Amino acid sequence: MQCHDPNEKPVNQKAEIFANGFWHNNTIFAQLLGMCPLLGVTTSAENGFWMGAATLLALICSNLTVSLIRGAIPANVRIPAYITIIAAFVSMIEMSMNAWMHEMYLILGLFIPLIVVNCAILGRAEAFASKNTPINSLVDALAMGLGFTFALVLLGGVRELLGQGEVFGFDIFGADYPDVLMFILPPGAFIALGFILAGVNIINRNMEARKDKQAAMLANMQTKDVNTVEIQS
C-alpha cells in the first residue's frame, strides 16, 4: 500500500505534457532537431513565425489523425502510413500558402515541403500520438509546435535585431544603426543560436537548483514534523 503526502499537489497531466513539449523537450533547445528550417529561414522574426505556424498546423493535423486511427494502422506499415498522413497535410498547407500568402510562400520556398521529413513531426506521431488519446495528442502537438515556433521567432528576432536593428519591421536601434550583415548570413545563425542555447542552459540549471532547494526545504520540514510527533508521543 502506497502512502501519499496530503500536501503534495496533484499532477495535471495535460499541463505536464504541455510544459514538456514547449520547454523541457523542446525540439530545438533540447533535441536540436529541425535545424534546416531553423538556420535557413530565420533571417527575420516574421519568417520564423510563419515557418513555425506551418509546422504547428502540420503537427496538430497529423497528431490528431494518427491518434484517431492508431488502432487501424498495422504495426509493420505504421511509419509509411505516418509519412503519408504528414505529407498529405503538408501538401494542403503548401498549396494554401501559395494561394493566399504567395510572397511568404516564395520566401520560405523549399522549406515548406521539407516539413514532411521534419524529425520532430514524425517522432511525435510515432512516440506519442500512436500511443495516446486524441486530446493528449492535441496538447502535445500544440506544445511541440508552439515551442518550435518560439525557437524560430526568437532566433529570427535576434538575427534581425543584430543584423538590421529592427524586429518584425519595427525600428529598434534607429536609422544610424550600422547593419551587421553577418547575422543575416548563415554564420550569424550559428553564432546567435549558440548564445541562445547557452542562455537556455543557464535557465534550466537555475530551475533545477530551485527545485532541489525546494525539495530540500520540504524534506527538512517533514523531518521536523516527525521529530515533533515523536517528542509529543
pLDDT of residue 117: 85
The pairing of beta strand 166-167 with beta strand 170-171: antiparallel
Cβ contacts of 175-178, under 8 Å, gap ≥ 24: none
pLDDT attached to residue 230: 58
- Phi, psi torsion values for 12, nearest 5 degrees: -85, 110
Whether the pLDDT of residue 9 is over 80: the answer is: no
Q: Could you tell me the residue ranges of all domains in the chain?
A: 15-232
| pLDDT computed for residue 142 by the predictor | 96
Please report, for residues 27, 62, 67, the alpha-carbon distance to residue 128 in angstroms, rounded to integers and kept in the order given.
Answer: 14, 11, 9
CA end-to-end span of the chain: 25
Between 216 and 19, name the one with better pLDDT. 19
Spatial CB neighbours of 65, under 8 Å, sequence gap ≥ 6: 85, 89
pLDDT at residue number 226: 59
Rounded to the nearest integer, the mean pLDDT of the chain is 87
Other Cβ atoms within 10 Å of 68 Cβ, number? 13
SS3 assignment, position 14? helix
Check residue 224 and give its pLDDT: 64
159-176 pLDDT, tens digit per residue, is: 999 999 999 988 888 888
pLDDT of residue 185: 87
Q: Does pLDDT of 182 surpass 70?
A: yes
Q: Residues 74-127: pLDDT tens digits? A: 989 999 999 999 999 999 999 999 999 999 999 998 899 999 988 889 999 999
User: Which pLDDT score is estimated for 135?
Assistant: 95
**Would you give the DSSP letter of residue 10?**
P
CA distance 134 to 191: 39
Residues 111 and 52: their CA atoms lie apart, in Å, by 11
Residues whose CB is less than 8 angstroms from the CB of residue 157 and which lie 6 or more positions away in sequence, other chains included: 45, 48, 167, 168
Provide the 3-class DSSP secondary structure of residue 166. strand
